[in-house]
Amino acid sequence: PMFKSLYEVKAKYTILIFWAADCGHCQKEVPKLHENLKTLTGKVDVKVYAVQTKEELFDSWKKFIVDNKLTNFINVFDPIHLNNLKEKFDIYSTPVIYILDKDKKIKAKRLDSEQVVNMIQTLENIEKNAAK
């Protein structure tokens, strides 16, 4: 689909990541996040909504997605800033990673790729303990 709204994403947790294909830090963090999330596969319902922040990088963005096999991410590109996500989430540098719950409420923000899995496991433990 051409348009994929953040609010259409059905998952217990949505990892929202803002990144740019020419950002050296992103080039390390995004594949690391992808790799780390494999530990949650089949255990926790997590989807990744990855927002490319720079309109002039369309070709390098597409190539990066293919080269790093990020096909299970929801990769979005908003060159005309239809949704103002950068403004809503106060993005002034990249990468920036948020964890949202099923209602898209922010559960954690400005994490690095190493912290995401631990944070989701923590949120799961909090929920399990609250259910006791």
Taking a C-beta distance cutoff of 8 angstroms, is the pair 61, 132 a contact? no
pLDDT 10s digits, 111-132:
999 999 999 999 999 999 998 8
Can you name the residues that pair with 14 across neighbouring β-strands? 47, 100
The one-character DSSP state at 20 is -
pLDDT 10s digits, 62-118:
999 999 999 899 998 866 566 677 777 777 788 999 999 999 999 999 899 999 999
Residue 49 has pLDDT above 60, yes or no: yes
Residue 50 has pLDDT above 90, yes or no: yes
Give the global pTM. 0.89
Residue 55 vs residue 45, higher pLDDT: 45
Alpha carbon dihedral 33, 87, 65, 114, in 10-degree steps, equals -10
The β-bridge relationship of strands 96-100 and 13-19 is antiparallel
Residue 7 vs residue 49, higher pLDDT: 49
Q: Return the closest-CA partner of residue 106 out of 94, 123, 125, 82.
A: 123
